[in-house]
Amino acid sequence: MQLITLPLSPFGRKAHIVALEKGLDLEIVAPPSGLDPSVAAKNPLAKVPVLALATGDALYDSPVICEYFDTIGNGALLIPTGDERWPVLRRMALADGIMDAAVAARQESIRPDGERSQAFMDKQRQSIVRSVDAAAGELQSFAGQLRLDSIAMAVALTYLDVRHPGIDWRSRAPELDRWHAEMEKRPSFAATKPAA
Ligand SMILES: N[C@@H](CCC(=O)N[C@@H](CS)C(=O)NCC(=O)O)C(=O)O
């Protein structure tokens, strides 16, 4: 299996961490950009990550890839079954939403002068801050167990550090900060740490 992703993509990192936690062998392939034809040929949305399967089929987007890894991999389920499933998926959506807003704000910030919208970037930043506060408010619900929600949230916070160092989420949420620091020590996180 090949995971086609970009080095700083938080969605790709989340999927890669899930594969490592589930003991799966994965080849990481980095296209020159998300718009590379090699990506669009497998995912018409032209976004990474894309999982290229040995059958020639491809899977996207990252929640689908993560659930696939959870299904075929070893060890405890990262997406539980039964009633516990839904809050885990909701919190993963919260973390993915932080990533979406952070990626959108970053892309807007590098548009040429005159084309950039401060209002758009402010809206994304407000969404990020509100969502970090919400995550901090329910930290006890996901801190205790390694699941898809905790993996996604830790990845989202690291992506903020890399792309939005001006968003001081740590002083807003010191307990989230302590938990995040422990998550980043896991071998799967250390092996996928984005270069600053
Ligand atoms: N919902 C998608 C989001 C993927 C996404 O936004 N990927 C970004 C990189 S972090 C991308 O490929 N952007 C390329 C583009 O928008 O042109 C997922 O979870 O996989």
The 10s digit of each residue's pLDDT in 24-55 is 999 999 998 878 898 999 999 999 999 999 99
Nearest ligand 1 atom, CA 33: 14
Verify that 90 and 141 share a domain, yes or no.
yes
Same domain, 88 and 60: no
Q: Does residue 106 sit in the same domain as residue 160? A: yes
In the prediction, which pLDDT does 32 show? 87
Q: Does the CB atom of residue 19 touch ligand 1 within 6 A?
A: no
Domain span at 32: 2-72
Centre of ligand 1 to C-alpha 175, Å, is 29
The DSSP result for the chain, as a single string, is: -EEE--TT-HHHHHHHHHHHHTT---EEE--SSTTSHHHHTT-TT--S-EEEPTTS-EE-SHHHHHHHHHHHSSSS-SS--GGGHHHHHHHHHHHHHHHHHHHHHHHHHTSPTTT--HHHHHHHHHHHHHHHHHHHHTHHHHTTS--HHHHHHHHHHHHHHHH-TTS-HHHH-HHHHHHHHHHTTSHHHHTTPPP-
Q: Per residue in 110-140, pLDDT tens?
A: 999 999 999 999 999 999 999 999 999 999 9
pLDDT band with cut points at 50, 70 and 90 for residue 195: confident
- Based on the fold, state whether residues 61 and 120 are members of the same structural domain: no
- 161 and 127 inside one domain: yes
121 and 146 both lie in a single domain? yes
- Quote the ligand 1 centre to 62 CA distance (angstroms): 9
Q: Is 62 in the pocket of ligand 1 (CB under 6 A)?
A: yes
Q: How many domains does the chain have?
A: 2
Query: Same structural domain for residues 91 and 182?
Result: yes
In-domain check, residue 87 = yes
Mean pLDDT over 169-189 rounds to 97
pLDDT of residue 33: 81
Q: 3, 4, 8, 11: which to mutate for ligand 1, most atoms within 8 A of CB?
A: 11
43 ligand 1 Cβ < 6 A: no
Task: Pick the residue whose CA is nearest to atom 17 on ligand 1.
Answer: 34
Asked if residue 196 is part of any domain, the answer here is: no
Instruction: Clarify whether residues 7 and 44 are in a common domain.
Output: yes
Whether 77 is in a domain gets the answer no
Q: 159 in ligand 1 pocket by Cβ < 6 Å?
A: no
Residue 196 binned pLDDT confidence (cut-offs 50, 70, 90)? low
